[in-house]
């Protein structure tokens, strides 16, 4: 697969950022292509060079942001430290990443579900990647894939609660209960 030219990557990034801003302002249902291209300062043509639809753009935004959060999580793991420190450090980095971009958090956790089965499938893929990361990090002898998914689901619910309470800037408060959940499920 050929790598996308820099100008095209920049336009795609701008369209994704435009989507994030438009959806955070108006919600997915009321966001139009005109809103997205206006926020991105690109043409409709540029939008359609990258995406076939508004739904495809939202899924791309969701998956790109989720992969960035997973990278932050991976980078926070340091085997030189003890288990407790690694868990707390990873959770602090992951939740901090989300808190640093409140515009995107609502999109990632709520608006994606407006796409119905397509959005749910994307959410499931991302959650599976997180669960797979947990199994790989903890070890399959200590945790099953279903247990890892329970951790992902539990932390997602805590984040959703904070979104609903308009406390995205305080996601760091979830490190302690999330850490306790990880330890309770893994027994470590």
pLDDT in tens, 13-40: 999 999 999 998 888 999 999 999 999 9
Position 56 in a domain: no
Kindly report the CATH number assigned to the domain that includes residue 36: 1.10.10
Position 110 in a domain: yes
Both 122 and 69 in a single domain?
A: yes
Position 134 in a domain: yes
Q: CA-to-CA distance for 182 and 123, rounded, in angstroms?
A: 21
The radius of gyration computed from the CA coordinates of the chain, to the nearest angstrom, equals: 18
Q: Which pLDDT tens digit goes with each residue over 159-172? A: 999 999 999 999 99
Q: Which pLDDT tens digit goes with each residue over 74-85? A: 999 888 888 888
pLDDT of residue 140: 74
Both 159 and 119 in a single domain?
A: yes
Residue 42 near residue 11 (C-beta atoms within 8 A): yes
130 sits in which H/E element: helix 117-138
Both 119 and 85 in a single domain?
A: yes
Both 80 and 149 in a single domain?
A: yes
Global pTM reads 0.85
Residue 97 near residue 110 (C-beta atoms within 8 A): no
Position 41 in a domain: yes
Q: Which pLDDT tens digit goes with each residue over 126-179? A: 999 999 999 988 887 788 999 999 999 999 999 999 999 999 999 999 999 999
Both 42 and 107 in a single domain?
A: no
Which sign, positive or negative, has the C-alpha torsion 138, 174, 24, 149?
A: positive
pLDDT of residue 79: 85
pLDDT of residue 6: 62
Q: Which residues form the domain of 14?
A: 1-51
Residue 116, both tokens = 């119905």
Whats the size of the chain, residue-wise? 188
Position 36 in a domain: yes
Q: CA-to-CA distance for 159 and 162, rounded, in angstroms?
A: 5
Both 16 and 102 in a single domain?
A: no
Both 153 and 100 in a single domain?
A: yes
Both 41 and 97 in a single domain?
A: no
Query: Could you give the number of structural domains in the chain?
Result: 2
Position 141 in a domain: yes
Q: Who has greater pLDDT, 152 or 105?
A: 152
Both 7 and 37 in a single domain?
A: yes
Position 34 in a domain: yes
Position 57 in a domain: no
């Amino acid at each position: 697969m050929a790598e996308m030219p820099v100008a095209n990557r920049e336009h795609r990034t701008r369209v994704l950022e435009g989507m994030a801003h438009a959806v955070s302002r108006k919600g997915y249902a009321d966001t139009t292509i005109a809103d997205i291209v206006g926020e991105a300062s690109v043409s409709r043509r540029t939008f359609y060079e990258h995406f076939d639809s508004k739904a495809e753009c939202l899924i791309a935004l969701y998956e790109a942001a989720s992969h960035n959060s997973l990278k932050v999580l991976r980078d926070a793991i340091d085997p030189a430290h003890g288990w407790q420190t690694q868990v707390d450090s990873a959770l602090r980095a992951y939740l901090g990443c989300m808190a640093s971009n409140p515009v995107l958090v609502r999109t990632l956790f709520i608006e994606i579900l407006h796409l119905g089965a397509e959005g749910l499938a994307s959410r499931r893929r991302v959650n599976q990647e997180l669960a797979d990361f947990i199994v790989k990090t903890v070890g399959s002898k200590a945790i099953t894939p279903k247990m890892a998914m329970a951790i992902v689901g539990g932390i997602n619910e805590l984040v959703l609660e904070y979104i609903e309470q308009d406390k995205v800037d305080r996601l760091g408060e979830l490190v302690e209960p999330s850490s306790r959940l990880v330890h309770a499920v893994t027994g470590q």
